[in-house]
Structure 1
Amino acid sequence: MHIDQRIAQTIVESIKGIISHDINFFDTDGVMTASTDLTRIGSFHDAARLAARTKRTVAVDHNAQFAGARSGVNAPVMLGDQVVAVIGITGERHDVEPFGNVIRRMTEILVRENLDQMTRFDQRMMQTNLVNLLTAEQHDPSLVEYLASSLHVDLHRPRRVAVGRCTSKDASSSGRDGLYTVLGEALEPSEHTLHSVSTQGFCILLDAAPDEPEPEPLLESLRGLLERELGRGISIGIGGVRHDADRYWTSHRQATTAVDWLRFTERSGVLDYDDLGYGLLVSSMPADEADRFIASVFAGVADADIDAYRAVFDAYTRNNGAIGRAADELFLHKNTLQNRLNTIARRTGYNPRDLEDHAVLAAAFLLRDYLRFQRASRGGTRSYADDTPGVDVQSAR
């Protein structure tokens, strides 16, 4: 078994902090891979090789006794009945020999802990890769089979995807270790549930067998734990059940849409794709068609003007068309507010005070905001001021 040199160096430095002698770490061939005496790393040590082969502690009384060896003791490091390394202390034999068993046992504990960490890390990486593959529309089936086999994952179980993100649009994606810890503890009881963590958030492939409970209570509990751990709001979207591993990606797409809608509406919580309501209509409209609709409503209107119209329109809507209350909210005279409503009607061809026109404007403002939200996530922007040149806003109706 190969022990990584960085782990070996960490071990010798940890032991040196307790025992005031140089500590050396050897592979089973007697090559020094780590040491608190950096000048000796890479050298051969015949006494260490003998300790590995005989599975016994080998003491060195003087520097010429073994090739490459200095006075001290060298003890085999065991995992089960296998020698995985040799640990040595440099110093006069009568001074360091009492520490032989102590450093051997300490090294075995540290090696075991580090190997456990590496195993957990490898498992985490494999599970992350498997989740990423299963939630992608196109993936390598042979790689999926290999990872699933290595992780003992049954790909024939029904599953549904949950995607979690920080609710705040500008929240940092720090705290990945905290995410892993909370997810691991919360999801451990379900042996068929997979999860991964990324810079964006987390993804869970929930076991959806008929005897499994509905996921909302588990996810609500998980959300509470994560919010306490990270100190920020968490939004979680859930996709539909898929019975074929090749279709998990469609559940992932639904879950992503649901969590995006929560974040767009600035709500933390758990939302099933089927419960999107109005969001289902908005999110399902192709971006090109949404752009075309928005451009037909706001053709020739600058983005800054649209933003100003939105503030007036929203106040008017929140106050159910009451001019006086809307004007007070905006700190305007009611005549000024009426003039601004008239400007919206004149510039767009849609009158906010007409019920049918109000619905069109509401949809255009909402779609514009939603597309802005999506494009901000991807770093894209769009202006409608110069779209559909020459279109007459009255005939556009």
Structure 2
Amino acid sequence: MDIDPQIAETIVVNIKGVIQHEINLFNTHGLIIASTDRSRIGTSHDGARLAVSTKQNVVIDDEHQFEGARNGINVPVLFNDSVVAVIGITGVREEVEPFGNVIKKMTEILIRENLEQVTRFDQRMMMSNLVGMLTMRRHDAAVTAYLASVMNVDLLRPRRVLVGRPCSGDSIIASQDGWHTIISTHLRSMSESFFTVNATGCCILLDEPDQSAISAFLHELSDDIRSSTKSPVCFGVGTVAPNADEYWRSYDEAGKTVDWQIFTGLNDVEYYENLDFGLLISSLNHENASRFVERIFSGLDDDDLDMFQTAFNAYAKHNGSIIHAADELFLHKNTLQNRLNKIARETGYNPRILREYTILDIAFKLRDYLRFKRQQTIPQYQA
């Protein structure tokens, strides 16, 4: 096993802070890969090669010289009973030899800690790649199967996909590690569930059929993330996917659901199957939604549309009561009536006629939703 040069550099810096001597870290071929004397990086050392082959400390002094070596001591570093590196301390033998075993243990601990950190990072990257593949409509089955086997994931199990994001919508999460730790803790008893975290939120593939249990799980998880980050979190839940071939569909549903939650600001946790208007609005692709809005509001500028929409929303909120809607807007009732009449005149759709009211309602909602999607910094979820 070879030590990564960045890990080697970290180890050298840590040890240099303990003893006031030049430090070199060699790979198992006797090549210096990190040093406090950067001019020596890349040079070879016979004394280090001897330390690797014998697993013994090698002292270099005036009586024991090796090609490429300076006086000091070379100490083999073991990991799982194999030499993985050699740490060299430059100096007078009598001064540096007492540090040998201490530095050896320090280096072994630092290597173990760094390798464990790298292993955790590699596992997170593999899981992120696996989730990324599973949430795509078309993916490489062989690569997916390989990643699943490495991560011990059963692709034949039914699962729901949960997508979580900050409720502010355009927020980038500050601490992915924090989210990861919290979610890991909550999933500890759910061995068949797995997840990934990225800059915009999380994606959880949950092996839990009971909706009430999912709701309890998500409310507790949301509370912990909010407590840690001071930011409320919204979760959208897709329908049950029978196996890995259908996970992408549940992911698409969860993404649309959490989008709708953020857009409306209604619930922290919502299920795709419980959406009403949101099911319709979020399912329209951008092109068709834009075409519909343009068809209804053709020729009107944004200022007029904003004024019309404010009047229309108040009228809808108060179930067609002109008096109550006008009071909310601090308008005379005749002024509000004039604006509703102008909506009918400019669009050709009268908000007082039920069928035409419905068309206007959808058009205004779509206009808002399209604007919301444009403002988002994350990709749209499209099937």
Q: Name the SS for the 1:214 alignment partner.
A: helix
Alignment partner, residue 55 of structure 1: 55
Alignment of 1:178-327 (within 5 A): 178-208=178-208, 214-267=213-266, 269-327=268-326
CA distance in 1, matches of 2:323, 2:240: 50
Structure 1 counterpart SS, 2:376: helix
Residue of structure 1 equivalent to 2:163 = 163
Alignment correspondent of 2:91: 91
Instruction: Tell me how far 1:219 sits from its aligned partner.
Output: 1.6
Deviation digits for residues 101-146 of structure 1 (CA, Å, limit 9, x no counterpart): 1100000000001101111111111110010001100111111111
CA distance in 2, matches of 1:309, 1:132: 43
- 1:9 positional shift: 1.0
Residue matched to 1:395: none
CA distance 1:113–1:267, shift in 2 (3 Å): farther
> What is the percentage of aligned positions where both structures have the same residue?
51
Question: Is 2:47–2:67's contact at 8 Å kept on the other side of the alignment?
Answer: yes
Write the deviation string for residues 168-222 of structure 1: whole angstroms up to 9, x where unpaired: 13323432222222222222332221211223221111124x6998322112211
Q: For the residues of structure 2 that align with 1:205 and 1:256, how far apart are their CA atoms?
A: 13
User: How many pairs does the alignment contain?
Assistant: 379
Alpha-carbon distance between aligned partners in 2 of 1:35 and 1:294, rounded to the nearest angstrom: 65
CA distance in structure 2 between the partners assigned to 1:359 and 1:29 by the alignment: 76
Q: Please, what is the CA RMSD of the aligned residues? A: 2.2
- Name the counterpart of 2:4: 4
- Residue in 1 that maps onto 2:137: 137
Asked whether the 8 Å contact 2:170–2:378 carries over to 1, the reply is: no
Partner of 1:107: 107
How far apart, in 2, do the equivalents of 1:5 and 1:291 lie? Answer: 53
Alpha-carbon spacing, 1:379–1:19, altered in 2? closer, same or farther (3 Å) = closer
Contact 1:24/1:89 (<8 A) preserved: yes
Using the alignment, how far apart are the partners of 2:347 and 2:94 within structure 1?
95
> For residue 28 of structure 1, what is the aligned residue in structure 2?
28
Judging changes above 3 Å, is the alpha-carbon distance between structure 1 residues 195 and 35 closer, same or farther for their aligned structure 2 residues?
same
- In the TM superposition, what whole-angstrom CA distance separates every residue of 1:233-262 from its partner, at most 9, and x where no partner exists? 211111111122111111111111111110
**1:356 Cα deviation from its structure 2 partner:** 4.0
* In 1: Cα distance, 2:87 partner to 2:197 partner: 37
Deviation larger for 139-148 or 199-208: 199-208
Structure 1 residues 211 and 341: alpha-carbon distance in aligned structure 2, compared to 1, 3 A threshold: closer
**SS of match in other structure, 1:189:** coil
Per the TM alignment, residue 300 of structure 1 is displaced from its structure 2 partner at its CA by 2.5
Tell me the amino acid that sits aligned with residue 67 of structure 1.
E
The one-letter amino acid of 2:232's match is G
Q: Would you say the 8 A contact 1:71–1:92 is kept in 2?
A: yes
Counterparts of 1:150 and 1:267 in 2: how far apart (Å)?
40
Q: What one-letter code is carried by the residue in structure 1 that aligns with 2:308? A: Y
Task: Confirm or deny: 8 A CA contact 2:55 2:83 kept in the other structure.
Answer: yes
CA separation of 1:249 and 1:309: change in aligned 2, threshold 3 A: same
CA contact (8 A) 1:262 1:269 kept: yes
CA distance in 1, matches of 2:210, 2:356: 50
CA distance in 2, matches of 1:59, 1:11: 21
- Unmatched 5+ stretches in structure 1: 381-397
Q: Residue 361 of structure 1 aligns to which amino acid in structure 2?
A: L
2:362 is matched with 363
Letter in 2 for 1:71: N
- TM-score, normalization by structure 2: 0.92
Partner Cα distance (1:254, 1:54) in 2: 61
